[in-house]
Structure 1
Amino acid sequence: MAPTKAPDSSRRSDRSRRAIHDAALALVTEVGYRRTTIEGIAARAGVGKQTIYRWWPSKAAVLMDAFLDLAGRAAEDAGAGPGDTGEPAPGIPDTGDLAADLKLVLRATVDELNDPALEAPTRALTAEGIVDAKLGAEFVHKLLDPQLALYVTRLRAAQEAGDVRADVDPRIALELLIGPLMHRWLLRTLPLTHAYADEIVDYAVGGLAPRA
């Protein structure tokens, strides 16, 4: 008889983690963060509660990990195209037209915020991060800061090209772009559209441009 091959424990762990991630994201989307429980995630993923607690201390930690994984997969999909290697796009494009580059990125952000698969977990983590300082810090460090750093890099390049005043702080300037977008998304008072993103860029770039 041929020897029986031992099960690949690492592959089984990867499948379990992905099942738990998918279950957590699905439940938050379907029933909301407050009604999502470790028991519910375990049942949906087809694993025991002890498996989840072996890897994560709380449902907030599960959701954070799941969302980071989802965001990573979304970035890979966005970066992939005909002939691409599947790697994420390397930052904000620099075509020499600052407004056009920023509009491209803000429009993509609008699409992500309006995507039902991303909206519910993003809102859940944003809300929970306000009351859970540790989770909030992790959310900023792992997810927001790397994205904001791309804006800083592009704005500094625009400064070097003379398109943005030398006295502008890029870290504050990027808030002129992101702040209004997130404010409208959080309050849900008005629709979040590409046209709105374009207007934000026009107003912000006009204020950042060198003065005559």
Structure 2
Amino acid sequence: MVQKPAPDSTRRSEKSRRAIYDAALTLVAEAGYAKTTIEGIAARAGVGKQTIYRWWSSKADVLLEAFLDLSGQYAEAVAAPEESQYGIPDTGDLAADLRYVLRATVDEIMDPRFEAPARALSAEGVVSEQFAQQVVSRLLEPQLQLYVQRLKAAQDAGDVRRDIDPRIALELFVSPLAQRWLQRTGPISYAYTDALVDYALNGLAPR
């Protein structure tokens, strides 16, 4: 008698995890954060509710981890050969590196797979301070720190003033993009983000 190999529990767990991620992101895009439930995610993913609670304590944890995973997929897809240890390209040309990253951000935020759940999570963050703090600490701030480190490297290279605060400086190009996207106040394009980099690095005074 030929013995069948034992089921691979690792593979089964990963398959379930991915199904839960997909279900969570789809549901929050369709129904919004408030109406998304653990029960709904489990039903959509085809797993038991206890499976979700074995890995996460709340729907916020599920959704944030699913969104972090989605963001990670984008980061891997746009990684440049010159990528530095900070996770942002470091070619020695700060303007080019920032244009590259912001163009990749445009592709990400305009992708319906990313945009719909991102808007739902952003809306929940407006009404729930606790949820907003989780989003900031687990998702946004780690990404912003990549800009901080790249700007610090530019300071060390003499390309940026040493007296500026990198955490404030990055807001000159990141915040306008986020604001335009959130409030739909204008078109989002490569030309727009290229202009943000130009204005942030060169200012508004005549040259």
Give the TM bin, normalised by the shorter chain.
0.7 to 0.9
| Superposition map of 1:188-207 within 5 A | 188-207=184-203
TM-score for both structures, normalised by structure 1: 0.84
Q: Which residue of 2 aligns with 1:122?
A: 118
Residue in structure 2 matching 1:97, options 93, 97, 103: 93
Match of 2:107 in 1: 111
Q: Sequence identity, in percent?
A: 66
Q: Counterpart of 1:44?
A: 44
Shift of 1:130: 3.7
Shift of the 123–194 alpha-carbon distance from structure 1 to 2, 3 Å rule, reads same
Q: Output aligned runs, 1:171-210, within 5 Å.
A: 171-207=167-203
**Alignment-derived partner of residue 153 in structure 1:** 149
The 2-side partners of 1:131 and 1:79 are apart by 34
Separation in structure 2 between the aligned mates of residue 207 and residue 71 of structure 1, nearest angstrom: 31
> Matched residues in 2 for 1:161 and 1:173: separation?
17
Partners of 2:169 and 2:119 lie apart in 1 by 24
Determine if contact 2:84/2:90 at 8 Å carries over to the other structure: no
Tell me which residue corresponds to 2:32. 32
Gaps of 5+ in 1: 82-86
CA contact (8 A) 1:110 1:192 kept: yes
Q: Does 67-76 or 195-204 show the bigger shift?
A: 67-76
Give the CA deviation at 1:128. Answer: 2.2
1:66 aligns with 2:62: no
Q: Is the 8 A contact 2:25 2:67 kept in 1?
A: yes
The letter of the residue matching 2:200 is A
Specify the code of the residue in structure 2 equivalent to 1:28: V
Task: Provide TM-score, normalisation by structure 2.
Answer: 0.86
1:93 and 1:101 in contact (8 A); partners too? yes
Indicate conservation of the 8 Å contact 1:79/1:89, yes or no. Answer: no
**Deviations, residues 7-45 of structure 1 (Å, cap 9, x unaligned):** 232322221111111111122233333343323222211
- Aligned equivalents of 2:84, 2:91: Cα separation in 1: 18
Moved more, 178-187 or 148-157: 148-157
5+ unaligned residues in a row in structure 2: which ranges?
A: none
How far off is 1:89 after superposition? Answer: 8.4
Residue 159 of structure 1 contacts residue 166 of structure 1 at CA under 8 Å; is this kept in 2?
A: yes
CA root-mean-square deviation: 2.6
